[in-house]
Amino acid sequence: MFQLTYSLLLSLAFIIMLPYFAFEAFVKRKYLSNFSERLGNLPGGSAPDDRPVIWIHAVSVGEALAALPLVRAVHERFPQHRIVFSTTTLTGQLVARSRVAEAGRFCYFPFDWRFSVRRALDSIKPQVVILMESELWLNFLSECRERKIPVIVANGRISDRSFSRSLKFGFFTSRLYRLVSRFEMQGEADAQRARALGAPAERVFVSGNIKYDIGEAAGAGSSDAKTAGLDELFGLTECRLIIAGSTGDGEEEIVLEAFRRLRSCDGLNKVRLLIAPRHPERFDAVARLLESSHLSFIRRSAYGDSGDDRSRGADVILLDTIGELASLYAAAAAVFVGGSLIPRGGHNILEPALFARPVIVGPHMENFRDITNEFLRRGALIQLDGRNDEELTGRLSDELIRILTDDEEAKRLGSNARRAVEENRGATARTVEAVAELIGIPGQS
Other C-beta atoms closer than 10 Å to the C-beta of 119 total: 17
Could you tell me the pLDDT band of residue 46, with boundaries at 50, 70 and 90?
very low
Q: Which neighbouring-strand residues pair with 132?
A: 154
Helix (H) or strand (E) holding 106: strand 105-108
Determine whether domain 225-422 maps to CATH 3.30.360.10. no
Could you tell me the pLDDT band of residue 137, with boundaries at 50, 70 and 90?
very high
Could you tell me the pLDDT band of residue 35, with boundaries at 50, 70 and 90?
confident
Alpha carbon of residue 60 to chain centroid: 6
Residue 219, pLDDT > 60, answer no
pLDDT score for 218: 44
Residue 272, pLDDT > 60, answer yes
User: Same fold for the domain at 2-208+426-438 and the one at 225-422?
Assistant: yes
* Rounded Cα distance, 375 and 360, in Å: 11
Other C-beta atoms closer than 10 Å to the C-beta of 303 total: 16
User: 3-class DSSP state for residue 81?
Assistant: coil
pLDDT score for 383: 98
Summarize the confidence of residues 83-109 as an average pLDDT.
93
- Residue bearing the bigger pLDDT, 224 or 288: 288
Burial label, 350 (beta-carbon count in 10 A; 0-12, 13-18, 19+): buried
* Rounded Cα distance, 95 and 88, in Å: 12
Kindly report the length of the chain: 445
**Which listed residue (37, 63, 257, 351) is catalytic?**
63
* Rounded Cα distance, 48 and 125, in Å: 12
- Residue bearing the bigger pLDDT, 8 or 288: 288
CATH of 2-208+426-438, one of 3.90.650.10, 3.40.50.11720, 2.60.40.10, 2.170.130.10: 3.40.50.11720
Beta-strand runs (E) in 232-346? 241-247, 272-277, 297-299, 316-318, 334-337
Summarize the confidence of residues 273-295 as an average pLDDT.
95
Boundaries of every domain in the chain: 2-208+426-438, 225-422
Q: Which amino acid is at 272?
A: R
pLDDT score for 3: 75
pLDDT digits (tens, 9 = 90+) for 373-404: 999 999 999 999 999 999 999 999 999 999 99
Q: How distant, in Å, are the alpha carbons of 214, 284, 341 from that of 387?
A: 34, 29, 10
Q: How distant, in Å, are the alpha carbons of 338, 364, 439 from that of 278?
A: 8, 16, 36
Residue 305, pLDDT > 70, answer yes
pLDDT score for 7: 72
Could you tell me the pLDDT band of residue 220, with boundaries at 50, 70 and 90?
very low
Residue 274, pLDDT > 90, answer yes
User: 3-class DSSP state for residue 86?
Assistant: strand
Alpha carbon of residue 377 to chain centroid: 23
Residue 313, pLDDT > 60, answer yes
Could you tell me the pLDDT band of residue 221, with boundaries at 50, 70 and 90?
very low
* Rounded Cα distance, 231 and 330, in Å: 10
Beta-strand runs (E) in 251-331? 272-277, 297-299, 316-318
Could you tell me the pLDDT band of residue 217, with boundaries at 50, 70 and 90?
very low
- Residue bearing the bigger pLDDT, 206 or 327: 206
Summarize the confidence of residues 226-250 as an average pLDDT.
89
Residue 269, pLDDT > 90, answer yes
Please say if 63 is a catalytic residue: yes
Q: Residue 269 phi/psi, 5° resolution?
A: -75, -10
Other C-beta atoms closer than 10 Å to the C-beta of 224 total: 11
Q: Residue 228: CB partners within 8 Å, gap ≥ 6?
A: none
pLDDT score for 20: 59
